[in-house]
Amino acid sequence: MARGSVVKKGSRFYCVSPYQGKQVWRAGGETIGEAQARLSKYMQEDHPNDNLLFKQFAQDFLFQSEF
């Protein structure tokens, strides 16, 4: 899974994560706990297939590699 982070700016926390090759800043909340929960939610929305099993990944890769 791609990595993200929580950053404090002033009195607010922000979620920073990669999305389509760019760094995206999103509102996190008033506490670090809120921001970490939102970061997890954002990461699942942005990268839904990151929990693929290797078997499924290998089958998809081999299927796409065939001519």
pLDDT of 1-25, one tens digit each?
A: 468 899 999 999 999 988 888 899 9
State pLDDT tens for residues 29-61: 999 999 999 998 888 887 777 677 888 888 888
* pTM of the model as a whole: 0.65
Domain ranges of the chain: 5-65
Strands (E), the chain: 5-9, 12-19, 22-29
State phi, psi for 16 to the nearest 5 degrees.
-120, 125
* β-bridge pairing 22-29 and 12-19: antiparallel
State the residue for tokens 């607010």.
12
The reported pLDDT for the residue numbered 16 is 93
The token pair that represents 5 in the structure block: 């982070």
The token pair that represents 14 in the structure block: 């922000």
